């Protein structure tokens, strides 16, 4: 087995729960998830970096501080604060295409799963795009919460629909009741 990957994790209180911010030693964001889904976060990291162990250590160092400060600013209302964060992820080529397409959705806007598949270069792979969306390790920064159903309804979000609703409202999206 290849050398284990060592990541730093910081726990940040937010209005909708404790957020886990995971960076590598160079300060690149590797994962973001909610503390009540920590097991899923670890599973996503292990899946992405197959054949390599993943070890999380308490946050120390400027890279983590930068990322957590950006998230704190985002939750305080500076929605663009997380836009410039450096990210790094594993996954398949298709997943990375989906995640890059997600990152291009402007704050305050939403798209459908069909549109996501088109933007990822595989217009007929709607379910696969949805699956890749659900496997996104970088919640909020790679904004999977901005993908909604064709009829405008809120559909799955790994952190729960209530968090998805909160994030979209926080970003100024007018939601159907």
The enclosing domain of 115 has a CATH number of: 1.10.10.10
Domain end (from 47, 82, 117): 82
Containing structural domain, residue 73: 2-82
- One domain for residues 41 and 109: no
- One domain for residues 44 and 9: yes
Q: Domain tally for the chain?
A: 2
* 136/113 Cα distance (integer angstroms): 14
- One domain for residues 76 and 109: no
Average pLDDT along the chain: 89
* 176/83 Cα distance (integer angstroms): 27
- pTM listed for this prediction: 0.90
- One domain for residues 159 and 98: yes
- One domain for residues 70 and 107: no
- One domain for residues 46 and 97: no
Q: Which sequence positions are flagged as catalytic?
A: 144
Split at pLDDT 50, 70, 90, the class of 145 is: very high
| Under 8 Å between Cβ of 139 and 33 | yes
The mean-pLDDT minimum among 17-21, 98-102, 150-154 falls in 150-154
Classify burial at 148, counting beta carbons within 10 Å of its beta carbon; exposed 0-12, middle 13-18, buried 19 or more.
buried
* 76/56 Cα distance (integer angstroms): 27
């Amino acid at each position: 087995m290849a050398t284990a990957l060592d990541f730093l994790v910081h726990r940040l209180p937010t209005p909708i729960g404790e957020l886990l911010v995971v960076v590598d030693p160079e300060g690149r964001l590797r994962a973001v998830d909610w503390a009540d889904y920590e097991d899923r976060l670890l599973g996503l990291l292990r899946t992405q970096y197959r054949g390599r162990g993943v070890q999380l250590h308490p946050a120390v160092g400027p890279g983590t501080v930068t990322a957590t400060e950006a998230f704190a600013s985002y939750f305080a209302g500076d929605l663009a604060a997380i836009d410039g964060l450096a990210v790094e992820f594993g996954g398949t080529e298709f997943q990375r295409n989906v995640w890059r397409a997600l990152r291009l959705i402007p704050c305050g806007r939403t798209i459908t799963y069909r549109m996501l598949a088109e933007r990822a270069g595989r217009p007929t792979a709607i379910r696969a795009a949805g699956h890749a969306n659900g496997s996104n390790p970088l919640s909020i920064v790679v904004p999977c919460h901005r993908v909604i159903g064709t009829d405008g309804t809120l559909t799955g979000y790994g952190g729960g629909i209530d968090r998805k609703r909160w994030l979209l409202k926080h970003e100024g999206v007018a939601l159907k009741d």
